[in-house]
Chains A and B, each alone.
Chain A
Amino acid sequence: MNTSGILRIENLKKYYQVTAGLFSKKVGDVRAVDDVSLHIKQGEVLGLVGESGCGKSTLGKTIMRLEEPTSGEIYFDGTDVIKMGKQELRRLRGKIQIVFQDPDSSLDPRMTVGDCIDEALIVHDIKNPDTRNAKVAELLEKVGLEAGFAQRYPHEFSGGQRQRIGIARALAMDPKLVIADEPVSALDVSVQAQVLNLMMDIKEKDGLAYLFISHDLSVVKYISDRVAIMYLGKIVELAGKHEFFNNPLHPYTEALLSAIVSLRPDGKEKIILKGDVPSPLNPPSGCRFHTRCHKVMPVCSQKEPEFREITKDHYTACHLY
Chain B
Amino acid sequence: MTSKSISVLRKIAGPFYVNRRLLGYYWERLQKNKLSIAGLGFILFLAIVGIFGPLFTQDPTKADLEVPNMPPPGFTRQESIYNIKTNDFTNRTIEGGLTHPLGTDSKGRDMLAMLVSGARISLFVGLLATGIAVFLGTFIGVLSAYLGGWVDNALMRFTDIMMTFPFFLLLVLIVFIFGSSLAIIVLVIGLTGWTGAARLIRSEALSLRTRDFITASKALGASDTRIMFNHLIPNVISLVIVMASLSIPGVIMAEAALSFIGLGDPTSTSWGTILNAGQHSLETAWWVAVEPGIMLFLTVLAFNFFGDGLRDAFDPKASI
Contact = CB atoms under 8 A, between A and B. Distances in A.
Interface of A: 61, 64, 66, 89-94, 97-98, 100-102, 105-112, 115-116, 119-120, 123-124, 151, 153, 166, 169, 172-173
A105 B216 CA distance: 10
Which 9 A-B pairs rank lowest in CB-CB distance, beginning with the nearest?
A90-B221, A93-B221, A106-B212, A110-B234, A100-B212, A108-B213, A105-B212, A105-B211, A120-B220
B18 A112 contact: yes
A107 B220 CA distance: 13
B213 A124 contact: no
Contacts of A166: 216
Contacts of A120: 220-221
B212 A109 contact: no
B14 interface: yes
Given A93-B219, A111-B11, A123-B221, A153 B211 contact: no
B231 interface: yes
Contacts of B235: 108-110
Nearest to B211: A105
Given A102-B212, A105-B211, A153-B22, A119 B230 contact: yes
Contact of B216 (A92, A94, A100, A110): A100
B15 interface: yes
A97 B219 CA distance: 7
A153 B222 contact: no
A34 to B, nearest CB: 23
Contacts of B223: 123
A276 B231 CA distance: 38
A64 B213 CA distance: 15
A98 B226 contact: no
Contacts of A151: 18
A115 B12 CA distance: 13
A119 B219 contact: no
Nearest to B236: A110
B86 to A, nearest CB: 80
B14 A64 contact: no
A151 B230 CA distance: 17
B22 A123 contact: no
Contact of B221 (A91, A111, A115): A91
Given A111-B14, A124-B221, A169 B226 contact: no
Nearest to A67: B215
Contacts of B212: 100-102, 105-106
A26 to B, nearest CB: 17
Contacts of B216: 98, 100, 106-107, 166, 169
A120 B230 CA distance: 13
A90 to B, nearest CB: 4
A123 B217 CA distance: 9
A89 B221 CA distance: 8
Contact of A169 (B15, B22, B220, B231): B220
B77 interface: no
Contacts of A172: 220
23 contacts: A61-B215, A66-B215, A93-B220, A94-B220, A100-B215, A101-B212, A108-B230, A109-B235, A110-B14, A110-B231, A110-B234, A110-B235, A110-B237, A111-B11, A112-B18, A115-B11, A119-B217, A123-B220, A123-B221, A123-B226, A153-B15, A153-B22, A169-B216
A61 B216 CA distance: 11
B7 to A, nearest CB: 10
Contacts of B157: none
Nearest to B219: A98
B217 A153 contact: no
B16 to A, nearest CB: 10
Contacts of B215: 61, 66, 98, 100
A169 B212 CA distance: 13
Nearest to A89: B221
Nearest to B218: A66
A182 to B, nearest CB: 11
Contacts of A66: 215, 218-219
- Between B15, B22, B211, B220, the greatest number of chain A beta carbons within 10 A of the residue's beta carbon is seen for B220
